[in-house]
Structure 1
Amino acid sequence: MQLQIFILGILCEGNNHPYEIKKLIQKNISDEEIVKVNDGTLYYRFESLLKKGYITKIEVSRENNRPERTTYGITDQGREALKEDIYKSFQTFSNLRPLYASLLFLKHVDLAKIIDLTEKAVERTKKRFQLQNDSHLPVWWGNYSKKISENIDFITSHARSNIEYDLDWLEKLLIFLRGTAKDRD
């Protein structure tokens, strides 16, 4: 979904072709886990978006002996799909990375809705943190092996740290979104 969001978001800015979008991704997003892109995946995604009616071919050109270059534009259906994908990314994420592509294109969505979804995500994360803090190993587990119990404590500590970090980041995101919403008014 992140690659689709990125393609549709870039096409909202203006018509473009897959190779140029690939260069934009490679130049501006160094982390492969945010948007994974290779030629096969990219061109497959463009074909998929074309079949869904989210994008349309604008122009096919050829310069000298180079391969044909197809320029695409976004359709109204594609603009709606972008919005829905961004909303869905805020509703369904299990870790924060899938939000990165969505954050790049917030100007195309209703910020009040994103703020609401982020507030709900903060509450879900607080509950996860509380559950993690409240969870205790069954009594029989501690009797099983002291070493395993220590290992579980080590793993649990890492899980708590990650949830706490996510919660802190989401709360900062909420402040950022509210500030952005005020600037739009």
Structure 2
Amino acid sequence: MSIQIFILGSLSEGNCYPYDIKKKIGKHLDQTDAKITEGTIYYNFEVLHKKGLIEKIETIQSENRPDKTMYGITEKGRLALEDSIYKVFQKFTNVQSLYAALVNLDKVDNQKIAYLIEDIIVKQRNKIEYIEQQKPEQIDANEDLMDALWLMRDHAYQTIQSNIDWLQKLLHHVQSRVLKN
């Protein structure tokens, strides 16, 4: 999950503190194995701030506690968020790489996202065709190696097919969003 996309998406809905984002991310990550530390959150806030994508809105100081800084998104940040979401789809590596973008589909042109998903599906189908053409028995190897190669081939095939099935569902979802608008 791209933490920066998630941070920018959250700030595009309203100003908040890094700790608030940490709680939001925690809710979304309860279903995954990903662990996001407070240090990671604060580091990414600092990176986004240095890039001019977010700005400090207010800092509250109290005697017994660390300063608490509220952030907001800049116009440059809104543009970067949209661009980052499109890039995640353009540079698809696996389904999990899309998670942060999925919770921000309301911030982009869903028709464009649909085209990008269709392109991903075509590329995934091309991978399936390539795998189907590969025959491990064409190499000279012992039985254990042949078994391993067939198992790896099967795993790759099943994973890609699973991705295609899920991407088809996502495409349907995105297309239904386009029809609503």
Q: Same fold (TM over 0.5)?
A: yes
> Structure 1 stretches of 5 or more lacking a match?
none
Listed one character per residue, the Cα deviations across residues 74-104 of structure 1 (whole Å, up to 9, x for unaligned) are: 0000001000110000000211101011010
Which residue in 2 is equivalent to 1:79? Answer: 78
Question: How many residues in Structure 1 have an aligned counterpart in Structure 2?
Answer: 180
Aligned match of 2:158: 161
- The residue that corresponds to 1:147 in the other structure is 144
Within a 5 Å distance, the mapping from 1:57-76 to structure 2 comes to: 57-63=56-62, 65-76=64-75
> For structure 2, which runs of at least 5 residues remain unmatched after alignment?
none
The residue aligned with 1:92 is: 91
Q: 1:2 corresponds to which residue?
A: 2
The residue that corresponds to 1:28 in the other structure is 28
Per-residue CA deviation, residues 18-52 of structure 1 (Å, 9 max, x unaligned), is: 0111011112321243xx52122111111110110
Between the aligned residues of both structures, percent identity stands at 40
**Which consecutive aligned stretches of 4+ in structure 1 deviate over 3 angstroms post-superposition?**
none
Moved more, 45-54 or 24-33: 24-33
Amino acid at match of 1:25: I
Q: TM-score, normalised by structure 2?
A: 0.94
CA contact (8 A) 2:54 2:73 kept: yes
Q: CA deviation at 1:105?
A: 0.4
Corresponding residue of 2:41: 42
Q: State the superposition RMSD in angstroms.
A: 1.4
How many angstroms apart in 1 are the aligned matches of 2:81 and 2:165? Answer: 27
Contact 2:60 2:68 in 1 (8 A): yes
Q: Secondary structure at the match of 1:68?
A: strand
- Deviations 1:127-175 (Å, cap 9, x if unpaired)? 011111111226333xx20121011111111111101100111111111
Instruction: Tell me, in whole angstroms, the C-alpha distance in 2 between the residues paired with 1:138 and 1:157.
Output: 14
Task: State the one-letter code of the partner of 2:23.
Answer: K
- The residue that corresponds to 1:135 in the other structure is 134
Asked if 1 retains the 8 angstrom alpha-carbon contact of 2:16 and 2:71, the reply is: yes
Cα separation, 2, equivalents of 1:22 and 1:140: 51
In 2, distance between residues paired with 1:64 and 1:32? 37
The question of whether the paired residues in 1 share the 8 Å contact of 2:136 and 2:150 is answered with no
**Partner amino acid for 1:16?**
C
Cα deviation, 1:113-139, whole Å, max 9, x if unaligned, reads 111101100100110111111112263
